[in-house]
C-alpha cells in the first residue's frame, strides 16, 4: 500500500518571512518514520482565490492533504469557508464545538466574541476533530480524490491533532507500521560516521532499509527505518551492528538528551559536578542547568576568563599558568581539580581554549581546546582542535565535556 500525501499551509505571515512553518517539517519527519515521503508542500497566503485553486489542485492529485492554518476567529481565517465553496456545500454550526468553545472562554474568564462562534462552523458532512490544546477544532472531509484534514496552525495544536488524527489514519491505511531507531553520537563527525556505517548500509541483508543522518551540531544522530515484515526484530539487529561499530561513542538513543542523561546519572548516584569554564563562557553550566532538577547535582560553576580568576577562585597555581599558558592541558587539569575542591563536588570539569575569532597563535590556533575531568580516581584530559567558528567551537567543547562525564559515569 503506498500513499500520496501533500501538505498545505496558509497564512500571510508565512509568506513575509515573519513566521517559519515548523509544523510541516515536524509532520514530514513522522510521516517518513511511518513510511511515507510527502510529495509536495505548498505555502499560500490568506487569499480566497489562491486558496480555492490550491485546494482543487492538491485534492486532485493526492490521497491525503493535510492543511494547516486559517481556522482562527478573524476575517483572514478562510479555511472552512474555502473548503465548503470548493465542495459546493454550506457551512453548518457544530453544536458540540460551540459548547466546547464557550466552556473554554468561561474557564479562562475571557469574554467570547461573536467571531469565536465562527470557529464552530464546518463544511456540511465534515468530521470534526475536537482540539484539547486550544480553541479551534480541526476537521476532515472527502474532496476530489483526497481525504483533506484541516488543522490549526498553532504548533502545539497542530502537533496534538496531527498525532491524534493524521498519523493513526496513515498507519491504518498503510497496514503494518515500519520500525525506526535513532542512535546518538558526540565527538564523531558526519563524514566519519558515514564511513563507519558503510558496512552496515551496504549489507545486502538490510536492502530496502532507509538509513539517514541528522546533524544536530555537535551531535550526529544515526537513524534507520525498516519496513514490515519483521520490522522490529530487523531494526533491533541493525542496532546491534551499529552499536558494535561505534561502541562507547553511542551515548543514547531515541529522544534522550545528553545533558539530561548526565543529570539523571549524577542524581541516581547522589553525586555532584562543579564546572570551570574559560572559552565556553558558561555554556556547559547553561546546558546542565537547563535540565529541570539540575540543582540537585550542580552547586557551583565558574566562568574564569581572566587568569586572576583562575588563580584566585579556582586555585590554579600562578607558576603553572606562566609556564604553560592559560590554554594548556596542565591548566585545564588544575581548573577541574580546583573547581571540584571549591564546589565540594565528586566531579570537576575544566575547559580552556581559543574560541576565536581572535586570540589564535601558530602554537595554539583558534579552535584549540583542552578539557579535563577530575574525579575520585584522578584527572583525565583530552585535547581538541576544532575547525569551526566561535559558536561551534564553544558548543562542541561543552558537549564533549558532557560526554567525558557521561563516559566516566558509565
Residues 188-207 touching a second copy, rule: CB under 8 A, are: none
Of 293, 323, 385, 387, the one binding a second copy (CB under 8 A) is 293
Residue pair 318/331 in contact by the 8 Å Cβ criterion: no
Of 16, 107, 111, 377, the one binding a second copy (CB under 8 A) is 16
Residues 382-401 interacting with a second copy (rule: CB under 8 A)? 390-391, 394
Residues 214-253 interacting with a second copy (rule: CB under 8 A)? 214
d(CA 343, CA 47) in angstroms, rounded, equals 61
- Nearer of residues 6 and 403 to a second copy, judged by Cβ: 6
> What order do you get walking across the sheet with 273-277 strand by strand?
273-277, 347-353, 368-375, 378-385
- Nearer of residues 252 and 343 to a second copy, judged by Cβ: 343
CB of 304 to a second copy, least distance (A): 7
CB of 159 to a second copy, least distance (A): 13
| Residue in this structure with the C-alpha cell 488543522, named with its chain if needed | 151
Query: Residues touching a second copy: how many (CB under 8 A)?
Result: 71
Cβ neighbours of 145 (radius 10 Å) = 12
- Nearer of residues 249 and 280 to a second copy, judged by Cβ: 280
Of 152, 218, 338, 356, the one binding a second copy (CB under 8 A) is 356
| Of 50, 48, 43, 53, nearest in space to 14 by CA | 43
Q: Give the burial class of 378: count Cβ atoms within 10 A of its Cβ; 0-12 exposed, 13-18 middle, 19 or more buried.
A: exposed
Residues 25-54 interacting with a second copy (rule: CB under 8 A)? 25-32, 37-45, 47, 50, 54
| Of 46, 23, 55, nearest in space to 148 by CA | 55
Phi and psi based region of residue 315 (left: phi greater than 0; alpha: psi -120 to 50; beta: remaining) = left
- Mask for 117-156, x = binds a second copy (CB under 8 A): ----------------------------------------
Of 204, 358, 362, 378, the one binding a second copy (CB under 8 A) is 358
d(CA 156, CA 148) in angstroms, rounded, equals 20
Residue pair 18/153 in contact by the 8 Å Cβ criterion: no
Residues 43-102 interacting with a second copy (rule: CB under 8 A)? 43-45, 47, 50, 54
Amino acid at each position: 500500500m503506498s500513499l500520496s500525501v501533500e501538505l498545505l499551509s496558509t497564512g500571510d505571515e508565512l509568506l513575509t518571512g515573519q513566521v517559519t512553518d515548523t509544523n510541516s517539517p515536524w509532520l514530514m519527519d513522522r510521516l517518513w518514520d511511518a513510511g511515507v515521503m510527502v510529495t509536495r508542500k505548498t505555502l499560500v497566503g490568506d487569499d480566497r482565490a489562491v486558496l480555492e485553486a490550491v485546494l482543487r489542485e492538491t485534492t486532485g492529485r493526492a490521497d491525503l492533504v493535510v492543511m494547516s492554518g486559517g481556522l482562527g476567529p478573524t476575517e483572514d481565517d478562510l479555511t472552512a469557508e474555502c473548503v465548503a465553496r470548493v465542495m459546493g456545500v454550506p457551512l453548518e454550526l457544530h453544536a458540540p464545538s460551540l459548547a466546547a468553545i464557550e466552556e473554554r472562554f468561561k474557564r479562562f474568564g475571557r469574554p467570547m466574541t461573536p467571531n469565536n462562534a465562527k470557529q464552530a462552523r464546518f463544511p456540511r458532512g465534515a468530521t470534526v476533530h475536537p482540539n484539547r490544546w486550544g480553541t479551534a477544532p480541526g476537521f476532515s472531509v472527502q474532496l476530489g480524490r483526497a481525504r483533506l484534514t484541516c488543522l490549526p496552525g498553532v504548533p502545539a495544536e497542530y502537533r496534538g491533532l496531527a498525532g491524534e488524527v493524521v498519523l493513526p489514519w496513515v498507519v491504518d491505511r498503510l497496514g503494518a507500521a515500519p520500525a525506526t531507531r535513532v542512535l546518538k553520537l558526540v565527538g564523531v563527525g558526519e563524514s566519519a560516521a558515514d564511513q563507519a556505517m558503510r558496512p552496515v548500509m551496504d549489507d545486502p541483508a538490510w536492502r530496502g532499509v532507509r538509513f539517514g543522518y541528522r546533524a544536530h551540531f555537535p551531535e550526529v544522530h544515526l537513524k534507520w527505518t525498516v519496513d514490515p515484515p519483521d520490522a522490529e526484530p530487523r531494526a533491533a539487529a541493525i542496532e546491534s551492528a551499529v552499536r558494535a561499530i561505534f561502541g562507547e561513542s553511542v551515548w543514547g538513543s531515541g529522544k534522550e538528551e545528553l545533558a539530561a542523561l548526565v543529570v539523571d546519572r549524577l542524581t541516581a548516584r547522589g553525586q555532584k559536578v562543579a564546572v570551570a569554564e574559560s572559552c565556553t563562557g558558561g555554556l556547559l553550566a547553561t546546558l546542565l542547568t537547563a535540565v529541570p532538577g539540575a540543582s540537585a547535582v550542580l552547586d557551583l560553576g565558574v566562568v574564569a576568563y581572566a587568569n586572576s580568576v583562575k588563580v584566585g577562585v579556582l586555585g590554579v597555581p600562578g607558576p603553572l599558568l606562566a609556564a604553560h599558558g592559560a590554554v594548556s592541558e596542565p591548566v585545564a587539569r588544575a581548573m577541574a581539580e580546583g573547581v571540584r575542591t571549591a564546589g565540594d563536588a565528586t566531579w570537576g570539569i575544566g575547559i580552556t581554549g581559543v574560541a576565536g575569532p581572535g586570540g589564535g597563535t601558530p602554537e595554539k590556533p583558534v579552535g584549540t581546546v583542552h578539557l579535563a575531568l577530575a574525579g575520585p580516581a584522578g584527572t583525565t584530559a583530552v585535547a581538541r582542535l576544532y575547525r569551526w567558528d566561535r559558536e561551534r567551537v564553544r558548543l562542541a567543547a561543552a558537549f564533549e565535556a558532557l560526554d567525558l562525564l557521561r563516559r566516566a559515569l558509565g
